[in-house]
Structure 1
């Protein structure tokens, strides 16, 4: 057990499963609609998926250097504290606690409720109750310990790949569109810059979540070795799967048909597998979303806990409490679920995802830039892993991240403004709490 009270019982396989399991969720099934609506052409849509993967992998390669050098519970919160100080670290932790993790859980739970109701022929009034039930169930399961949550993640990750590979294989073999469906590259009346930008933002939700594996570093057996492997290996698998399945989609249906349906994967399944295909793929979606909700709960409840042990949040004494047997942050999990339930009642999947992407990518860019800051500020820091092709790879990650932030700011000012307001509310909270902060020797020093 580490000095902070958390058990070090997670190895490489659960960490790799968490990366893949968090990233491959609802996005791969639902975001093709937004991508091909924005681009109007299959070629540019595929380019958006490729660019999204390149930016994400560049970000993963960059962040892996920091995560290996600072393998502390809290992930990005710990990285920003080490690099920029308490204020930025606090604002990130605040945004993750109030917006990012609860919005992810809520959005995915809404999708789970929507798909379950459709599969069982239930009225829409059942969507919210189902969403609440599945999120509460997964919080309870994670309170049994990180090993239980990790096991759920591993099993669900394996299961969710089955329908994905089925679509890929049958789509390539039986799809009647062939390469003709991949053209044209650019559609008329769709400016490349804005169309690609909107499509890229959509793909980033599908790619999002990988960085949160850093929040469980304090519970990994060998984080300096396994964390970079989990991030880089997991993202490489995800990008390959995303590209292949979108090509399979296009082999089965034209881009215009994918843009016209809210459930592109189910529509493709109906073409490839017949009338029963929609039901089969819906079960696959439910398994996928179930695992992704679990991943966000597993990692998300560690963020307020990591802040609370340093007395940074109101109610820190309560939030820092660990369960007596499983040694997991039980009250931080309860807080995450309460906020998630409030957001579930909004019923707005797309608005929640757009809001959280804008907010989190501001801090992603700061995390990528931290590699430059720490190499100059702390050249003697132990770095078990160094980002390859430095400084090219971090620059790619930073430029891609800034493009996403500014594109969202100009194309969706309401969501961007709301995200900024909620994040900045953390400033007065920080000012009131900073004199009460305390440093904790958690046994994770590099």
Structure 2
């Protein structure tokens, strides 16, 4: 009887996609994108910002994870209530205006998605440079072949994509957990996690400010959790599996990051950590692996980094085109993007165009500058998505909400204020990039108005 009810629910959620992704597949997509090479070096930036206080650094990692989790819970409520491909674009469209949702998708289509794919595709062969002699041309050729290969692979259906993501997720965790376990077992140091000295030196307000600055650094390691919602229509039971995957994925990664950094403190003496970071040697995790496993440790870290980056690239190639598909279905983008392959049920045109833009970005210089352009509006759109939770509860009370955000409305208010704080902080820290970043949505407005005018003309002639 329960199975029959479940089938009826899914049949009522009409979709052209194949529902092939389960809870573990969802966790693999989140973890595959979130856990990258940053686990080995981002802890250094968090430590710098806490004045090398271990206690504050660990707290920053935990709070960064909690903030990401509550952001994820907002996405979970919206995704379970509106299980459609496109993720935040769908929620912004329903809560505010179709133009707002379109601009989020357009920013991702033009630079955000392809820029991330291009940057990671370049990072993978760069990680291999210590083992393979590659010049800049060789790195770019490698990156282009990787993009083409994964795009072709993803054209053969979400089930194959999900299998590859599951394999890469497990494969990347093996070396990371080996290093983590080895450090916890072999480490002889008892790290000082007290925060009293910082409180005494900087006062309560100064310490909170320092901690907030460190949390911003930790949040970059948690980036990627928003991508699961773009494949909601391909999740077997989105009303149950989407929230579960977000909670397990983000919660598990929070524990992993906090434990991994604690393990580093167990192995490396405090003076060594400070000296390494001040000399701009940020790869504390690599140093720990070498101390525990000798020369094999360096190879272990490289293997973990390569597999982690590979999983991130595949996850983005899989997830991002679903947003472009949703833009087309909404009616303000090229119709070809809204067509699925008749057999494999994937947005083939969106996948191919994303690959072409990614390859163009690989061939261009100043890739970092290009990808930085979308940072400002990405945080702005996340802020708007969190606010969409109370807006849609009032605007669409009749929708079945099988999952609701914990500790509402306090959790939503705090999460929204944090994202707004990040937007304001970014604007003042780097006003040029923030203002320049508006060029992309400005171009998007032109596209939206063009398609809007075209749609109205077609309606009049119909």
Separation of aligned partners in 1, 2:41 and 2:163: 26
TM-fit CA distance, 1:378: 1.9
- Give the structure 2 partner of residue 15 of structure 1: 26
Separation of aligned partners in 2, 1:133 and 1:181: 46
Q: Deviations over 1:114-169 (max 9, x none)?
A: 10223324334422222222222111111111111111111111111112211211
Separation of aligned partners in 2, 1:39 and 1:103: 31
Separation of aligned partners in 1, 2:179 and 2:380: 35
Aligned residue among 286, 311, 326 for 2:306:
286
TM-fit CA distance, 1:181: 7.9
Farther-moved stretch of structure 1 (225-234 vs 34-43): 34-43
- Give the structure 1 partner of residue 135 of structure 2: 123
5 Å-filtered alignment, 1:300-315, equals: 300-313=320-333
- Give the structure 2 partner of residue 442 of structure 1: none
* Cα 1:424–1:199 shift into 2, 3 Å: farther
5 Å-filtered alignment, 1:43-442, equals: 43=54, 44-180=56-192, 186=198, 192=207, 195-253=210-268, 254=270, 255-256=273-274, 257-258=276-277, 260-313=280-333, 316-346=334-364, 351=369, 354-437=372-455
Does the CA contact (< 8 Å) of 1:38 and 1:196 recur in 2? yes
Q: 2:128 is paired with a residue of what secondary structure?
A: helix
Separation of aligned partners in 1, 2:197 and 2:448: 48
Separation of aligned partners in 2, 1:276 and 1:184: 39
* Cα 1:189–1:271 shift into 2, 3 Å: farther
Q: Of the two, which has the highest radius of gyration?
A: 2
TM-fit CA distance, 1:271: 2.1
TM-fit CA distance, 1:262: 4.5
- Give the structure 1 partner of residue 5 of structure 2: none
TM-fit CA distance, 1:349: 7.0
TM-fit CA distance, 1:182: 7.8
TM-fit CA distance, 1:296: 0.9
- Give the structure 2 partner of residue 28 of structure 1: 39
Separation of aligned partners in 2, 1:366 and 1:19: 21
* Cα 1:89–1:185 shift into 2, 3 Å: farther
Does the CA contact (< 8 Å) of 2:111 and 2:371 recur in 1? no
Does the CA contact (< 8 Å) of 1:105 and 1:340 recur in 2? yes
Q: 1:384 is paired with a residue of what secondary structure?
A: coil
- What stretches of structure 1 of length at least 5 have no aligned partner? 439-446
TM-fit CA distance, 1:258: 4.4
* Cα 1:124–1:428 shift into 2, 3 Å: closer
Q: 1:117 is paired with a residue of what secondary structure?
A: coil
Q: 1:118 is paired with a residue of what secondary structure?
A: coil
* Cα 1:90–1:149 shift into 2, 3 Å: same
Q: 1:122 is paired with a residue of what secondary structure?
A: coil
Separation of aligned partners in 2, 1:433 and 1:185: 60
Does the CA contact (< 8 Å) of 2:80 and 2:240 recur in 1? yes
TM-fit CA distance, 1:194: 6.2
- What stretches of structure 2 of length at least 5 have no aligned partner? 1-10, 457-462
Aligned residue among 2, 5, 28 for 2:16:
5
TM-fit CA distance, 1:345: 3.4
TM-fit CA distance, 1:34: 2.9
Separation of aligned partners in 2, 1:423 and 1:123: 35
Farther-moved stretch of structure 1 (287-296 vs 254-263): 254-263
- Give the structure 2 partner of residue 441 of structure 1: none
Q: 1:119 is paired with a residue of what secondary structure?
A: coil
Farther-moved stretch of structure 1 (333-342 vs 143-152): 333-342
Give the paired residue count: 436
* Cα 1:345–1:88 shift into 2, 3 Å: same
Separation of aligned partners in 2, 1:366 and 1:103: 22
Give the structure-2-normalised TM-score.
0.87
Separation of aligned partners in 2, 1:182 and 1:292: 35
TM-fit CA distance, 1:389: 1.1
Give the structure-1-normalised TM-score.
0.90
Farther-moved stretch of structure 1 (126-135 vs 187-196): 187-196
Q: 1:148 is paired with a residue of what secondary structure?
A: helix
TM-fit CA distance, 1:275: 2.3
